[in-house]
Chains A and B, each alone.
Chain A
Amino acid sequence: MNLLAADLRAFVAAARKELRQQRRYPTLFLGLLFWPVLLPASWVLMGHAYSGNDPAALAAFAERAGSPDVAGFVFVGYAMYMWLSSLLWGSGTALRQEQMRGSLEAVFVTPASRLVPLFGPGVAMLIPMSLTFVIMGVALWAFFGVVPPLAAVLQAAVVVITGVPALYAIGTLFAASVLRFGEVGPVVQLVRGMFVLACGITFPVAMLPLWAQVWAWLMPPTYIVEDLRRILLRGANLADVGPHIAIVLTIAALIALLAVFVFRALETSARRSGMLGRF
């Protein structure tokens, strides 16, 4: 078996291991039913409080958000929030969990490529994420009566799939930092906070000051959320969001390269300083 095929097998094994661990803790899946529904629902009710059903207030929101549909706007934004959360807490902290269990060194002495433990756990997050999207869609329909056309949902699915590499690369870049910082829990909060504030999760990006908007448009989640809202709430199609998809894929490639580079540099440093086993 050549090296590439062996690494591929190790990659699949790493993903299977993560999936098996998820299955062993079924209570973790309770959160999948609770948070994707109630978090955005509470923000929709906040929107009702702020609008007071006043036509002028709703028109002002529509002008800034590009859509008068407050519930749809919030749920799409929160879908990205849930995606980022599971990415940063899941694959983003996978190396840290190996470190805490004392198995990181053991994994690193196997002949498999170092990129396997770095990229492998991310695959396992795709299943809970897909479930989250489905649950949010059902909640949006059941509680707020918002049902986007099937064609729009399918096109939105394409945007999500093309966004996977970018989000995956962000999670991987973050995961690599474990080798330098060790405890990353507070950093997860910080990074997630940055995304929440910059990427138009719960409010239109247009509400940010200009300098912050420039930063926002350097982040792939901003494009993905905006494209999903355009397709699901404003009737745009894939051709309309094509340039954004190209930008997201380009940024994804750059971040993935950066993640590999950072990981190699930090791994070398961690092996010299003996940081791998410390926590």
Chain B
Amino acid sequence: MGELRAALAIARKDIRGFSRYRVAVASTVFTPLYQFIIPAFLFGAAFAVNGRQAGLSATLGTEDLPGFIFLGGLVGGLISIAFWGIAFSLRSEMDMGTLEPSWLTPTHHETFVIGRALGSMFWFVLSQAALFAFGIWLLGLRLRAEMLLALPALVLAVFAMVGIAYLLAAVVLLIREANFFVDTMQFAVGTMSGTAFPVTLLPGVLQPIALALPTTYAIDILRSQALGSRPLFDTGLEYVVLVLLTALTYPLGRWAFARAERTMRRRGMLAQY
């Protein structure tokens, strides 16, 4: 109970801190719009024949361009949270010199990651609501009841991403300059999960990596159940793999985080950056 209170307090602190930077808050909506959603929509629309997405239909079995983009962006947002909102924020705390005092409190160090995940989820839900509203209003995005069928896949993806966030936090705490690492890894994981295009289009050498990522299955299940797109494998099998990967990722992340923490305490690296 005490840990839950601590996690909520950390989340509240993060939400309050971030809300002070209004331009940064606005950019959680604006940046995905200009970097991905609008350009991807107009790029895709440039291939339309008589208003129909024949090419996308040939690739995926659905003509729903806005749905394809927004659902990819939804999981892309989750990946971004794991990398920047959770893992990198520990680094920021280190830079500000507040990591040591925080870790001297009786709260479990893993709880800090959970608290940050909760705080990031708050902004994630708000920004996705704004983005979906924009999509419905201007880009012809249609929400269907069948989308709810994909909710379990999304919940599993959230748990898997918290596990990956632990893993990343371990790396971020150990390396000196984490910005480039986080930036490139976020792009690589997002791209290889199929946020922007199906993983079948990746070069052959990258496809095994893509199939080892839980987010690949989450996106595929989401798109197949919400848009009726052709799944990579049978949806039931994808659920089994997603559950297995999530079950593997979470303890692996916790273990890596605990190891990194022990290393840092032994070497006195907590205040070094």
Interface residues of A (CB under 8 A from B): 27, 30-31, 34, 38-39, 42-43, 45-54, 56-61, 64-65, 186-187, 189-190, 192-194, 196-197, 201-204, 207-208
Q: How far is the CA of A34 from the CA of B38 in the complex (A)?
A: 24
Supply 28 A–B pairs (Cβ within 8 Å), ascending by A. A27-B180, A30-B180, A34-B184, A38-B187, A43-B43, A45-B196, A45-B202, A46-B40, A46-B197, A49-B56, A50-B43, A50-B59, A54-B58, A56-B49, A57-B47, A57-B48, A58-B55, A60-B46, A60-B47, A186-B27, A189-B27, A190-B30, A193-B30, A193-B33, A193-B34, A196-B35, A197-B38, A207-B45
Q: Looking across the interface, which residue of chain A has its beta carbon closest to that of B190?
A: A42
Is B43 within 8 A of A46, CB to CB?
yes
For B129, what are the chain A residues with a Cβ–Cβ distance below 8 Å? none
Cβ–Cβ < 8 Å partners of A59 in chain B: 49
Taking chain A's interface residues, is the majority helix, strand, or loop, or is none over half, making it mixed? helix
Contact A49 B46, CB 8 Å, known A31-B180, A54-B54, A197-B39:
no
Residue B198 CB within 8 A of the other chain: yes
Q: B47 is contacted by which of A27, A42, A45, A58 (Cβ under 8 Å)?
A: A58
B60 touches A186 (CB 8 A): no
Do the beta carbons of A193 and B35 come within 8 Å of each other? yes
* Chain A residues whose C-beta falls within 8 Å of the C-beta of B49 in the assembled complex: 54, 56-57, 59-60
Does any Cβ of A come within 8 Å of B19's Cβ? no
Contact with B197, one of A27, A45, A192, A202 (Cβ below 8 angstroms): A45
Known: A47-B47, A49-B198, A60-B47. 18 other contacts (CB 8 A): A27-B177, A38-B191, A39-B187, A46-B40, A49-B59, A50-B55, A52-B54, A52-B59, A56-B49, A186-B26, A190-B30, A193-B30, A193-B33, A194-B34, A197-B34, A202-B39, A203-B39, A203-B43
On B, residues with C-beta under 8 Å from A are 23-24, 26-27, 30-31, 33-35, 38-40, 42-49, 53-60, 65, 177, 180, 184, 187-188, 191, 196-198, 201-202
Q: Which secondary structure dominates chain B's binding surface?
A: helix
Name A46's contact: one of B24, B53, B196 (CB within 8 Å): B196
Q: Identify A50's interface contact among B24, B35, B39, B56, CB under 8 A.
A: B56
Task: Let me know if A49 and B60 touch, CB within 8 A.
Answer: yes
Most buried by A among B26, B33, B44: B44
The 9 closest A-B pairs by CB, nearest first: A52-B58, A193-B34, A57-B55, A52-B55, A186-B23, A49-B197, A203-B42, A52-B59, A51-B55
